[in-house]
Amino acid sequence: MRLLRSTDLALRLLMRLAVLGDATPTTRQVAADMEVPYTHAAKVVAELQYMGLVDARRGRGGGLSLSDRGRTASVGAIVRAFEGDGDVVDCEGDHPCPLNSGCRLRGALRRAQEAFYASLDPLTVADVTADPTGPLLLRIGRAP
């Protein structure tokens, strides 16, 4: 299973904010540090703000910070929110699979997907930023 770019960025952004302490980077700074387009970062930040995981303040002295809810959020829940409820494969899309009525693979893939999410559910953003990850996150975007 491969995560969407927006899911990957959301997780990395939350992890980065978790270790920054009182620093409040702007969306533009985060995009530059993570080497992603500003527009992509802005969409992800807007979704994280809507989910209540990130606080964003505009204007002078503004910036991004991790909310209390963001710090304790389940990684599995975040991934589900960004990835959606879809199956790993689209058996009923524009070109329905001819095996759809009797396929056993679809159920196996669904169980594997749920096992993937179940393994992420107990992890929080705080868990995945513990040492040795935290210090590494602080070096992102800095010159060597």
Encoded amino acid at 4, one letter: L
What is the tens place of the pLDDT at every residue in 64-74? 999 999 999 99
Which residue has better confidence, 49 or 133?
49
CATH of domain 5-138: 1.10.10.10
- Domain positions in the chain are 5-138
Q: What is the mean pLDDT of residues 107-129?
A: 91
What is the pLDDT at residue 39? 95
The Cα–Cα gap between 71 and 58 comes to: 21
Q: What CA–CA distances, in Å, run from 129 to 48, 105, 122? A: 18, 36, 14
Complete DSSP assignment for 71-109 = HH-BHHHHHHHHH-S--SS-TTSSS--TTGGG-SHHHHH
What is the tens place of the pLDDT at every residue in 88-109? 777 777 777 787 777 888 888 8
What is the tens place of the pLDDT at every residue in 8-59? 999 999 999 998 888 899 999 999 988 999 999 999 999 999 999 999 988 7
